[in-house]
Structure 1
Amino acid sequence: MINTLTSLRFLFAMMIFGAHCYVIDSFFDAHFFKEGFVGVSFFFVLSGFIIAYNYQHKLQENKISKRTFWVARIARVYPLHWLTLFIAVILGNYVVASDCMDWLKHFLASFTLTNTYIPKADYFFSFNSPSWSLCCEQLFYFCFPFLIPLAKTYKRLLYLFIPIAIIVVTGMYFTPEDEIKGYWYVNPVTRFPDFIVGMLLFHLYNFF
């Protein structure tokens, strides 16, 4: 089961890659690749499942502490993120404004993975733009230990998932199309339901 889920990464990674190739050829802006963005949701769901699979019982049984979990997650995310960020700074010649202080604010937001909480493209796509997904993962990892009491039964997770999902869908409906990406697509809080779906799938996996 785990190997099968993991192997799907290649398929959805190719969908995401293809969805970004529209700048090369218009073919990639249609058909299979046009919906490539769903690959991001898949990876968030997969993250919820894998994290629950590896850590839920350990945290419930106090075999590891919240601190140990967070340190492991930070060590996995930040070093590589900082490396790619500095490479982007050196090679990308990124300019946000003539004001040095403005540049520094954008850089610090990216450095701390808080840039996607600001619904402006020059923030959430600044420097190394794919890192916006790491901002979401950071929130998931921070919240996961606090979800452990709710994770004892799938019903409790559903009680959390349903209202958040309704708010997100409703909010997207009333948000102007050109602002949806900033407020709903890259925002870590509004991507949280994806992660919870992964945790719910882990409950289903345990059931069988």
Structure 2
Amino acid sequence: MNPKLNLLQVYCGIASLMVVLTHGNKIVAGELQQNDLYLLQIFHFGWIGVDFFFVLSGFIIFYIHQSDIGKPDKFTPFLFKRFIRVYPLYWSILGLKILVSLFSTAKDSIYQRSADEIIKAVLLLPQDRSILESSFIGVNWTLCYEVFFYCIFGFLILKNTKIYQTIIFA
């Protein structure tokens, strides 16, 4: 990575820590059944880390691939790199989650999910909001947005027109 971007690694680490602390806060509050415990409220702001990741991801994709804009021959390598970066690890973790769910008696087991939900989860297509809040599949929502962003940026690589630029920057 370009030495100028090293500080972004630090910011990424801070944002990751914020997200982990927020999720940890929710777990601890749930286990203690103390949602109003003041000490736990310290980490409530950690959701900002997710937004930061989205902004950072957009910046890095643009920074790295700005010279590819309007060059259709760069589209396939761009998509391949994005696919390899996201799907193999995601499918591995999702597969493990589904496997564990097969042996679970919890109300959120795989048996409670429709084929449509599973297919959307595998392909990283957006899910219904109720699934996001109540299902082990729902935690993939950030990757759904990331893949959507990759597709939009891919269109800019294919065709660098004013209309695509306007849509993307909007």
Report the TM-score, using the length of structure 2 for normalisation.
Answer: 0.74
Deviations 1:137-180 (A, max 9, x none): 000000003245368xxxx659942xxxxxxxxxxxxxxxxxxx
Q: Give 1:88 shift.
A: 0.5
Task: Give the equivalent residue in structure 1 for 2:21.
Answer: 18
Task: Give the equivalent residue in structure 1 for 2:80.
Answer: 71
> Are 2:152 and 2:168, in contact at CA under 8 Å, matched by a contact in 1?
no
Q: What residue ranges of structure 1 are gaps of 5+ in the alignment? A: 162-208
> Are 2:153 and 2:168, in contact at CA under 8 Å, matched by a contact in 1?
no
Candidates 3, 10, 35, aligned match of 2:6: 3
Report the TM-score, using the length of structure 1 for normalisation.
Answer: 0.62
Task: Give the equivalent residue in structure 2 for 1:59.
Answer: 69
Q: How does 1:99-138 map to 2 (within 5 A)?
A: 102-116=113-127, 118-120=128-130, 122-123=131-132, 126-138=135-147
The alignment's C-alpha RMSD in Å is 2.7
Distance 1:4 1:95, change over 3 A: same
Distance 1:159 1:130, change over 3 A: closer
Distance 1:79 1:54, change over 3 A: same
**Bigger Cα displacement from structure 2, 2-11 vs 19-28:** 19-28
Distance 1:68 1:15, change over 3 A: same
Task: Give the equivalent residue in structure 1 for 2:109.
Answer: 95
Distance 1:150 1:52, change over 3 A: farther
Other structure's SS at 1:114 match? coil
Task: Give the equivalent residue in structure 2 for 1:196.
Answer: none
Q: Give 1:109 shift.
A: 1.5
Q: Give 1:86 shift.
A: 0.7
Distance 1:125 1:43, change over 3 A: farther
> Are 2:18 and 2:46, in contact at CA under 8 Å, matched by a contact in 1?
yes
Higher relative contact order (CA 8 A, sep 6+): 1
Amino acid at match of 1:112: L
Q: What residue ranges of structure 2 are gaps of 5+ in the alignment? A: 30-36
Distance 1:55 1:66, change over 3 A: same
> What is the distance in 1 between the residues matched to 2:148 and 2:115?
23
Amino acid at match of 1:17: V
Distance 1:123 1:11, change over 3 A: closer
Q: Give 1:124 shift.
A: 6.5
Distance 1:96 1:80, change over 3 A: closer
Aligned length: 150
Q: How does 1:27-42 map to 2 (within 5 A)?
A: 29-31=40-42, 33-42=43-52
Whether 2:153 is the aligned partner of 1:144: answer: yes
> What is the distance in 2 between the residues matched to 1:157 and 1:28?
45
Other structure's SS at 2:141 match? helix
